[in-house]
Amino acid sequence: MVDASVGVRSPLSLADFIYGGGVSYRKDGDLKYTFGEAYLGVGNNFTPGLQFDTGFKGVYGQTEESPINEATVGGLGFFLATNFSFVDWLVPLPISLRVSGTYVPEVLAFADLKEMIVFKGGIGFHIFDAAILEAGYRYTQMDMVEAPEDWTLEDSAVYFGLSLQF
């Protein structure tokens, strides 16, 4: 699995305005999916190094589980994320721990997607302030509504990628 993302944090008076996007690609045997996502939300630094973010996330892409199942996925969902960075804490290590979740409910899903859940957890190595090499674990479940029958794509994978933050 490969992930790439870009995010921007703009400080406001009580919280940060955050927006960005990314792509995910996975090909393993009969399973293949590619989807992009864009998000918009608010975040806050509760203590130095500890961030909580929440907002809306849109997803769109293609998925395939050979030999029969193929679908277009799309929807608008909600996300919640937290990040603990040791860079800004008492021990200045160039690493951070990240956990996030995204949920696309049935009422906001379109194309062949019925519902989607994504959980991610990982560690980031800060190359410098704006670039982070990430590695972690990702669980994805996509329920599809497509002829001839409904089907579910369930995947768990180790990922690696590059994250840029401004």
**Chain segment 85-141, per-residue pLDDT in tens:** 887 666 677 898 999 999 999 999 998 899 999 999 999 998 887 788 989 999 999
- Residue 41 CA to residue 18 CA, distance in Å, equals 5
- Residue 16 CA to residue 57 CA, distance in Å, equals 16
Query: CA gyration radius for the chain?
Result: 17
- Residue 77 CA to residue 57 CA, distance in Å, equals 5
Average pLDDT over residues 60-65: 89
pLDDT tier for residue 79 given thresholds of 50, 70 and 90: very high
Q: Which CATH class is domain 2-165?
A: mainly beta
Which tokens in the block code for residue 5? 């993302």
Task: Tell me the three state secondary structure of residue 67.
Answer: coil
Task: Name the percent of the chain lying above pLDDT 70.
Answer: 96
pLDDT of residue 106: 94
Q: What is the pTM of this model?
A: 0.87
pLDDT of residue 71: 86
More confident residue, 39 or 71: 39
Q: Is the pLDDT assigned to residue 9 strictly greater than 80?
A: yes
- Residue 23 CA to residue 100 CA, distance in Å, equals 15
pLDDT of residue 89: 65
Q: Is the pLDDT assigned to residue 147 strictly greater than 60?
A: no
